[in-house]
Structure 1
């Protein structure tokens, strides 16, 4: 079963979420969270920090990731580990895989015409709201 990760990176004030505009399929043109593939030899948390650094330039010195939840897709034979973290300080984001930007949190993240993941982004954001004390 192939593993992937999704990374929810919040600004230091917890008022913005790091997102990207997908430049390729699946979900080309839609907003998404950053993340990537977990290699077979990697622990999930190690893959999360590696993907975060590769795609955004953010490192473990900038953020502490917390394992929020997992999704298992048996028909597609894959699973997704979801990590969330609040930046310790302002950082300059840089990456060339997708177009990165900071999103306000007052958006309808369940809108599948704008956001990838069939509503999963909205669900994950709601879970962080319910557990906000973990990030304060």
Structure 2
């Protein structure tokens, strides 16, 4: 019996900011060949010796220039099956809260960004499963009090 390997080599981060008592979600438009022109939240690899949450902070800074955020474990995962390489990629998802006046400075990985309502973000993401991640984050991090035990170091 053959098994499909599972690889956990990256992270995902959904950034939120509150504007006029409503939370907005940051989506980025990919500029590189992998998923070119796809709107998604922040994602990236985990470097050697790095914890997943450390990679989340680093990727946020690299992709957006943002260093001031409160980071939480979303306790959910991005999951993608690689057809070409026959493996399942799984990545822990983090939620980052930023100040309402936070500027975004994109690196070369992305060509554009938008702060959207949750419904707009859910309608905009195109990777199956991203909409479910956003719905879960809205339910547990916006509509409910965020549990303190989910905050991560920084």
Match of 1:101 in 2: 114
Aligned equivalent of 1:70, options 74, 77, 93: 77
Q: Structure 2: which 5+ residue stretches go unaligned?
A: 1-6, 148-154
TM-score when scaled to structure 2?
A: 0.72
May I ask how many residue pairs the two structures share in their alignment?
A: 129
2:70 match: secondary structure: coil
Computed over aligned residues only, the root mean square deviation of the Cα atoms, in angstroms, reads 2.3
Structure with the higher fraction of residues in strand conformation: 2
Structure 1 unaligned regions, length at least 5? none
Contact 2:15 2:26 in 1 (8 A): yes
Alignment of 1:92 with 2:103, yes or no, is yes
1:21 counterpart residue number: 29
Distance 1:115 1:47 in 2: 22
| Structure with greater Cα Rg | 2
Aligned residue runs from structure 1 range 111-126, under 5 A? 114-118=124-128, 120-126=129-135
